Structure 1
Amino acid sequence: MSRRPTASRSLMVTLKDTGRSDNGHEVAQPTGWAKPLTPTFLTKPWGRRDGLPGSENAQTLGEIVYQSNSLGLVIKWLQTSEALSVQVHPPGPRRKHEWWHIIEARPGAYIDLGLQETVTPDRIAAAARDGSLSGLLNRIVPLPGDSFYIEAGTIHAFGPELTVLKVQEANDVTYRMFDYGRPRELQVTQAVGEALLTPSVPRAFPDDDAPFAVTPITLRAGEKVVVTPERACLAVISGGGDLADHAFTAGECWLARGPVALQAHTQSTFVLAEPRPRNAQTSDDGANDE
């Protein structure tokens, strides 16, 4: 999972205290803006109390959700204490492509992603109904820093003991194939009809045909950059500092339009998520992202 992401549409210029770039060229003053998106804290039975920050009325905390309607993107932090349901998101106009970045993987953590071998619809439907589905899935033990791009139609599931940053399209059509005996409705027939039933090599990052691009960014303490997205979400994984003259901290997600200045007070890591032009709406101020 070490393949580099494809080039995003943003440029990033490292600044010195003089206001010049590392190669000595002057850099124009940033004229963009940034605003924090409002989080939604979701209680989940498979969540945890000892990981992501959340209020007592959102325990056990499973997800922190940031939604950018104007970009057609949703950014989530997830933490799991047990395996989640095995799912499929249909391709086509209701599709939901996803990108996962592993922040923490405790002992016993895993993800299920795609199939080990080509299967028939009848075989996988029977496995979903008799509880043997996990034996057909490609199980991966991830490490912190690993990334995975999940195309719609891919059978997938989060295992236990994970903390994950997820970037996804805003559609949320989900067919559950298996749910470990939880009393929720399954949609096995629909899932099998939409699922990719041949194995594929997991990809770390979206390709050029994907509906969004992601760019990991790491800054040393004191480092300054100018980031120039047309429109993007900036998820703060760790650290703290200033973004367009606003203080940021870990666990936040910002809507930004470049060029904007980004300075780390401590070593900081981010993910910049940008929609491809055909997927972004045209709102200019992000007012519908409140």
Structure 2
Amino acid sequence: MSILKLTPSCKDYLWGGSRLRTDFGVQSDLNPLAEAWVLSCHPDGPSYLPDGTMLADYLAAHPEAAGTDCKKFEMFPVLTKFIDAKNNISIQVHPSNEYALEHEHQYGKTEMWYVLDCEPGAFLYYGFDHEISREELEERIRNNTLTEVLNAVPVKKGDCFFIPSGTLHAICKGVVVVEVQQNSNVTYRVYDYGRVGADGKPRALHVKQALEVMRRTPPEQHDFSPHLAKCDYFTVDVVAGGHTGTADETSFVSLLITEGEGRLTCGGETVQAKKGDSFFITAGSGAYALTGSCKALLTTV
């Protein structure tokens, strides 16, 4: 097989909404529907092939399908999600590989966001608006004034943010994004607006760990031109119908359809592609073509 169409695992975190189902065709009975893990080999939310096989099991049996560049990683390096923040997501930070391996026994998390849609006036938190001391940070966490020193960035469709590990961040209400990240599920919550979980208890915070890994500075500026984002774990581009490329032996090609519809052709196969679909083209499959009125996020290693 050259083209694998993936089915996601979904999450019903309390801040989610319904737009992944209504706008992106995600099939799930969860309500709210907060996330769809559309490219994932993580045990907390695996993606599935049409026959019900987990992508992780398929790649374990066919490691060449991930590509030779993935061999340097202990596990499949990428995890991609749709995220619908109907309400504010907790203010949080992710650790570096070194810290996460020592304390969590999994890798850290560098990620990027690509804004698919947002309500008027929507924004997100992205680092601090000035450098602050650890003492001030601890005090602001205690007295619930943390948001006063965060870098609040207005967003619009098509915006992209690269978030290295250690960067404090939060998607705020009314924003839908694609998140491309390291294959990790380690999150330290710093502030959660006083909300309670399904059990009626305040959701757990991880302030001690967050203080140990957090950068207390404004975010760095990044220019990955001509790519949207590029790091050791993923390279991400935006493509549209009319795009052609080659899936060589070095890397798989992930195509996540974010707008419209069209067709994807590779290795003698042609499949219909519509908004919300996630496709995995196996490494070494050769030339492929995306046609029609669609747009997609293309991810490789």
Question: How far off its partner does 1:269 sit?
Answer: 0.8
| Of 22, 25, 34, the match for 1:62 | 34
Say which structure is richer in helix. 2
Question: How far off its partner does 1:259 sit?
Answer: 2.1
Cα RMSD (Å) of the superposition? 2.0
| Of 148, 169, 193, the match for 2:212 | 193
Partner of 1:240: 261
Question: How far off its partner does 1:139 sit?
Answer: 0.6
Instruction: Say if 1:118 and 1:109 are closer, same or farther in 2 by CA, change over 3 A.
Output: same
Give per-residue Cα distances to partners, 1:244-283, cap 9 Å, x unaligned: 3122211111111342422323x211111112xxxxxxxx
Q: Which has the higher contact order (CA 8 A, sep 6+)?
A: 1
Kept after mapping to 1: 8 A contact 2:95/2:186: yes
Kept after mapping to 2: 8 A contact 1:177/1:191: yes
Paired positions, count: 240
C-alpha distance in 1 between matches for 2:149 and 2:238: 32
- Structure-to-structure mapping, 1:192-231, within 5 angstroms: 192-203=211-222, 205=224, 209-219=231-241, 223=242, 225-229=244-248, 230-231=251-252
Q: Unmatched 5+ residue regions in structure 2?
A: 42-55, 60-75, 99-106, 196-201
TM-score, structure 1 as length reference: 0.76
Question: How far off its partner does 1:227 sit?
Answer: 3.4
Give per-residue Cα distances to partners, 1:32-52, cap 9 Å, x unaligned: 811012211222321122444
Give per-residue Cα distances to partners, 1:10-35, cap 9 Å, x unaligned: xxxxxxxxxxxxxxxxxxxxxx8110
Q: Is residue 102 from structure 1 mapped to residue 115 from structure 2 by the alignment?
A: yes
| Of 261, 282, 288, the match for 1:261 | 288
Aligned-partner SS, 1:125: helix
Kept after mapping to 2: 8 A contact 1:63/1:78: yes
C-alpha distance in 2 between matches for 1:218 and 1:55: 24
Partner of 1:273: 299
C-alpha distance in 2 between matches for 1:208 and 1:83: 27
Instruction: Say if 1:49 and 1:209 are closer, same or farther in 2 by CA, change over 3 A.
Output: closer
- Identical-residue share of aligned pairs (%): 25
- Structure-to-structure mapping, 1:1-290, within 5 angstroms: 33-50=2-19, 51-55=23-27, 57-66=29-38, 67-68=40-41, 69=56, 70=59, 71-93=76-98, 94-182=107-195, 183-203=202-222, 205=224, 209-219=231-241, 223=242, 225-229=244-248, 230-243=251-264, 244=266, 245-256=270-281, 257=283, 258-265=285-292, 267-275=293-301
